[in-house]
Amino acid sequence: MGKIKNVFQNMSLKKSLVLLAVFCLSIVSVLIIITVLAFSGMRQSILDTRPLHIYGYTDEYHGESGGMVVEPNDFAYGTLSRENQRNYRAVTVFMVMLPVIYIILASVAVAKFYYKWKLQAPLKDLKSGIHHISGQNLDFRMEYSSRDELGQLCDTFEQMRNELYKNNCKMWDMLQERKALTASVSHDLRTPITVIGGYLDYLNKAAEKNALTGDILRTTLENMTAAASRLERYVDCVRDVQKMEDIEIRTEQMDLKKWIADMASAFSMLAEQNKRQLEIRDFSKTPFIRTDQDMLSKVLENIFSNALRFSEKQIVLIIEETDDCVSFSIQDDGAGFAQEELSCAALLFYTQSAPLHTCPGRTGGGDFGIGLSICKILCGKLGGALHLENGSGGAVVTAKISKCGDSGERAAD
């Protein structure tokens, strides 16, 4: 019964309705035939109780072996008794009404079983899903798995829910990043503004006391110029990140092996200049991928530059791939990330000197912490994510990108 129900559920709505109707009508037809035959026999049995009146007859003798044959010339049936008349009418009514009742019951059965087996579950799931979405709750799943039209509608609804969930998560991440950006702007702008304000106050007091000398003025102006320059560089950093968010990814077929060889040559030269050893482990097999070569190079250059600053002797570059992604992991032998840094280091403008949310950091170096922020944004635009962890010897930063040029942004780990 369960297998039959599953097969029925996977049929199209039209086919299942026709099949159920034909099945019920077949049963109704058999019942009608049986009913008509049975009640016809009962009616005939009642009619056979009528008295028979014979008017005249003809007899014919056929000899000793044939006997005498009597044939009536005319006959007529008498009237049924009142009781038999009532029985005859009752049997006739039942013979007419029962087929009608069978058809009504069959129609009800078709409607009931069709609704129960084909409509009830998907309509309930869709109603529940609409209720969840109207309540701004996207943390649910559509479990209806039939392959009929309503099953396809539920699949489409689930895809819509999933896309809404991803968009909401993306919007939430953007809001969090905007909050982080606001906090960072407030923190980093406060220091140079305070410095400039302090020097201006100092100049005013020195001028009031006639103690303003050329050396004091020159030193103060140099410090104020440095603070103003820091403000200008900070504004440039904000503009750079905004450009990364608005940049258009242009995918093209890239010779992965050649690109790895070129990057290895450039990184080896930088490592040698900084007295570091570079080890490259290439486990990739795909000769060509589709991606934005310039943006991928920028990601790896930023991560490698970060590794150069914090490594002690060695840097390891590991290239691996899965069915749909290629990952580039750069590991240094430095101190690594602290536990709280793993959740903070990829935030916008996270630095050692001006940490967000009081997290200590290792992404400083005078660049306002935009390196990992840019890598995170670009990895998302290249269909992948940025992942931070500690390996056996130090920090490991992994940039994962799509092999086929998908630019749908994913959440960074």
pLDDT at residue 352, rounded to an integer? 44
pLDDT at residue 204, rounded to an integer? 83
Report how far Cα 173 is from the mean position of its chain's Cα atoms.
17
pLDDT (average), residues 202-214 = 78
pLDDT at residue 368, rounded to an integer? 45
pLDDT at residue 310, rounded to an integer? 87
CA angle 356, 359, 364 (to 5 degrees): 75
Sign, CA dihedral 169-396-382-183, equals positive
Burial of 203 (0-12, 13-18, 19+ CB in 10 A): middle
Alpha-carbon distance of 284 to 328, in angstroms, equals: 10
pLDDT at residue 28, rounded to an integer? 94
Quote the tokens at residue 332.
């240094």
Q: Outline where 76-119 has alpha helix (H).
A: 82-114
Quote the tokens at residue 303.
């991560």
pLDDT digits (tens, 9 = 90+) for 118-144: 888 888 888 888 888 888 888 888 878
Alpha-carbon distance of 280 to 269, in angstroms, equals: 13
42 contact partners, CB below 8 Å, separation of at least 6: 91
Q: Transcribe 328-384 into DSSP letters.
A: EEEEESS----GGGGGTTTSTT--SSS-GGG---S--SSSTTHHHHHHHHHHHHTT-
CB 120 within 8 A of CB 128: no
pLDDT at residue 347, rounded to an integer? 52
CATH 3.30.565.10 maps onto the chain at 249-402
Residue that wins the pLDDT comparison between 96 and 54? 96
Quote the tokens at residue 55.
């008017």
116 contact partners, CB below 8 Å, separation of at least 6: none
CB 57 within 8 A of CB 73: yes
CB 49 within 8 A of CB 94: no
Q: What percent of the chain clears pLDDT 70, i.e. is strictly above it?
A: 80
CATH 1.10.287 maps onto the chain at 179-244
pLDDT (average), residues 12-20 = 89
pLDDT at residue 340, rounded to an integer? 66
Pick from 92-101, 225-234, 376-385: least confident: 225-234
pLDDT digits (tens, 9 = 90+) for 55-79: 777 767 666 666 677 677 777 888 8
Quote the tokens at residue 314.
């060695």
Place of tokens 């006739």: 92
pLDDT at residue 98, rounded to an integer? 93
User: Closest Cα to residue 178, out of 306, 13, 45, 349?
Assistant: 349
Task: Say if pTM beats, i.e. exceeds, 0.85.
Answer: no
CA angle 409, 180, 242 (to 5 degrees): 55
Quote the tokens at residue 404.
């086929």
pLDDT at residue 106, rounded to an integer? 93
Fold entry, domain 179-244: Helix Hairpins (1.10.287)
pLDDT category of residue 187 using cuts at 50, 70 and 90: low
pLDDT at residue 27, rounded to an integer? 94
Alpha-carbon distance of 336 to 288, in angstroms, equals: 33
pLDDT at residue 113 tops 80: yes
What is the chain's mean pLDDT, rounded? 80
pLDDT at residue 364, rounded to an integer? 42
- CATH number of the 249-402 domain: 3.30.565.10
pLDDT at residue 319 tops 90: yes
pLDDT at residue 348 tops 70: no
User: Closest Cα to residue 407, out of 255, 302, 260, 252?
Assistant: 252
pLDDT at residue 26, rounded to an integer? 94
pLDDT at residue 251, rounded to an integer? 87
pLDDT digits (tens, 9 = 90+) for 146-172: 878 888 888 888 888 888 888 888 888
pLDDT at residue 355, rounded to an integer? 39
Coil, strand or helix at 174 = helix
Alpha-carbon distance of 162 to 144, in angstroms, equals: 15
Quote the tokens at residue 180.
């982080």
CB 363 within 8 A of CB 372: yes
pLDDT at residue 370, rounded to an integer? 59
Alpha-carbon distance of 10 to 148, in angstroms, equals: 5
Alpha-carbon distance of 275 to 10, in angstroms, equals: 67
Pick from 134-148, 182-196, 249-263, 280-294: least confident: 182-196
Quote the tokens at residue 301.
């250059």
pLDDT category of residue 244 using cuts at 50, 70 and 90: low
Q: Could you give the maximum distance between any two Cα atoms of the chain, in Å?
A: 173
